[in-house]
A = this chain, B = another copy of it.
Amino acid sequence: MEFKKILEEKSEESWKIYIPNLSIDCVVFGYNDATLKVLVTKIKNQKLIGLPGGYVLKTENLFDAAKRILFERTGAENIYLQQFKVFGDLNRSEDFFKNFDDNIWNKQRFISVGHYALVDYTKVNLVIDDISDACEWKSITELSEFMMDHKIIFDEALQTLQKQLNHKPIGYNLLPEKFTMPELQKLYEIILEKKLNRGNFYRKILRYDILEKLYESRKGGAHKAPDLYKFDLIKYQLALKNGFNEGW
């Protein structure tokens, strides 16, 4: 059944159960094979890609709605999920539905609360919903054209993530439990889209005091086995909440 027909059939139910004019869009980042990836969907018979999103039930807290929407798509729980910006300009999405009847749910003006999420790539089972052909990971350097204003939402999310590296820890939801310092540095470099000096990185990241050095090292390479680290989760969560006290 085609996209338009499905949305028309769902419209009446949507008007009943959801808060009108309000949506949630999610920018879901995953990290694998030294590549930062983002979760995108493709609506049936459409070329453009989109961000996974949804609506808020009249009986549901906003944040619970965001968690539910992500869970429905990825099966993932306990992920790092955060609002970052509301997108509230006129004509964000109305044009996209110009061939629909005016009273169809999806053709209304929507103000969208942008959330971004960091998820463990290995713990995700992607679900394709009934209006989509695909729900898949794409490298952030190989994205094709987005629908509506989703490119703007994606760009803002990436900028938020980059800025957040300056005052919050990152990595717990993106790296495996045990990792080497070069692997952590690589994650930062991929997100920041630039090379970092090795010595400066070590000094700075150790000063943040969120790492625990393990009494084991990675076996198997030709070189000296590199030390393994993991995050000290108590310190990590505290820094996530309060920010690094680099400031005043």
B-binding residues in A (CB < 8 A)? 19-22, 56, 58-63, 65, 83, 85-90, 109, 111, 113, 163, 165-167, 188, 192, 196, 201, 204, 243, 246-248
Contact = CB atoms under 8 A, between A and B. Distances in A.
Given A21-B22, A167-B167, A248-B166, A62 B85 contact: no
B248 A111 contact: no
A192 to B, nearest CB: 6
Q: Which of A62, A85, A111 has the most CB of B within 10 A?
A: A111
Contacts of A86: 62, 83, 86, 113
Contact of A247 (B65, B111, B165): B165
6 contacts: A22-B22, A56-B111, A61-B88, A61-B89, A65-B88, A167-B247
A246 B246 contact: yes
A211 to B, nearest CB: 16
Nearest to A83: B86
A111 B62 contact: yes
Contacts of A90: 59-61
Contacts of A88: 56, 61-63, 65, 113
A196 B60 CA distance: 44
Contacts of A247: 163, 165-167
Given A63-B88, A89-B61, A248-B196, A166 B19 contact: no
B111 A22 contact: yes
Contact of A20 (B20, B165, B204, B243): B20
Given A83-B86, A248-B192, A109 B58 contact: yes
Contacts of A65: 88
Contacts of A22: 21-22, 111
A167 to B, nearest CB: 6
The 8 A-B residue pairs with the shortest CB-CB distance in the complex, in nearest-first order:
A62-B88, A166-B247, A61-B89, A19-B21, A86-B113, A61-B90, A163-B243, A192-B248
A217 B90 CA distance: 49
A21 B58 CA distance: 10
A244 to B, nearest CB: 8
